[in-house]
Amino acid sequence: MKKSKKSNKKSKEKVCEIFEVKKGKKEKEKKTCGVIEKKHASKKELKEQSKTLRNILIGLVIIILLIFGLVYVSNSAKSFEYRGIKGNVVKEGNIIFYQVAFPYLHKGKIVPWSIYIRNDPRKLDKIPFEGEMDFGMKFDDGMYRLVLNLSDNFDCNKEEAIAFGNMINLMALRVKVMRDENATCDSQGRYMYANVRKGEETKITQIGESCYEIIVKDCEILKATERFMTEMFVEYYSE
């Protein structure tokens, strides 16, 4: 019995090439053809090609994810969200502000009134707030009242002036801020009362229906008052 032999015949492909030949002033096209052997990739080569293609695809996916990540980080750097409040991050020179806008009725028209604070509300959340925010009663002029007093003197490189200046802007929340050294916590909760004093830990404690102590460690007066303000922001938007 004769054994069959595997064909070693390699597949071939006909290839033609057209080029121009110049003879005198005339140009003439000439066509030449030939036969070349077709080379088939081995299993090893096919495996390497698949691996290369896979790596290229993985690289493209990583690049696309990086682009989306950079866009997301860039957008996140310009805005923030804190307990349902959305705001913008504004840079003025080397100072960063956190801006929250409130609708305010001015001369019969609703206009945005922005409050700018210096500390990130998401980081201020670490300062304890013991109690609940209560604006008290609304007066006949449609405004609330906040009596803000100090039981200690602060010398904090003018941060105390910035802190109290910020709180004047609570007008955007329909809250009128005033000083009255003779005022104390109102037992009926008709107005808000906040006393700022020094302590061993920066925190805010509710001492009455609408009354609070803003306790300041060292010179964290700006952080303490802005923590109080952010709690008011949340309460305003939850109304």
Q: Over the stretch 68-78, which tens digit does the pLDDT of each residue have?
A: 666 555 554 68
Full domain range(s) for residue 197: 125-238
Q: Considering the domain boundaries, does residue 171 fall inside one? A: yes
Residue 144's DSSP bridge partners are 175
pLDDT value, residue 66: 72
- How far, in Å, are 2, 39, 124, 131 from residue 11 at the CA level? 25, 8, 76, 87
78 within a domain of the structure (yes/no): no
Angle between helices 221-238 and 159-168 (to 10 degrees): 10
* Domain total in the chain: 1
For residue 201, being part of any structural domain is answered with yes
Model confidence pLDDT, tens digit, residues 86-132: 999 998 888 999 999 998 877 788 888 899 999 999 999 999 999 99
- What's the pLDDT band for 10 if we cut at 50, 70, 90? low
- pLDDT tens digits, residue range 137-154? 999 999 999 999 998 989
Residue 184 resides in a domain: yes
Quick one: pLDDT at residue 14?
A: 65
- In the chain, pLDDT over 90 holds for what percent of residues? 50
Q: Is 163 among the domain residues?
A: yes
How do residues 21-80 score in pLDDT, each as one tens digit?
Answer: 666 666 666 666 766 666 666 777 777 778 788 878 887 777 777 766 665 555 546 889
pLDDT confidence band for 8 (50 / 70 / 90):
very low
pTM (2 d.p.): 0.69
Computed over every residue of the chain, the mean pLDDT equals: 84
In this prediction, residue 231 carries a pLDDT of 96
pLDDT higher than threshold 90 for residue 9: no
- Select the more confidently predicted residue: 220 or 11: 220
> Is 72 part of any domain?
no
Residue 76 inside a domain? The answer is no
Residue 190 lies in a domain: yes
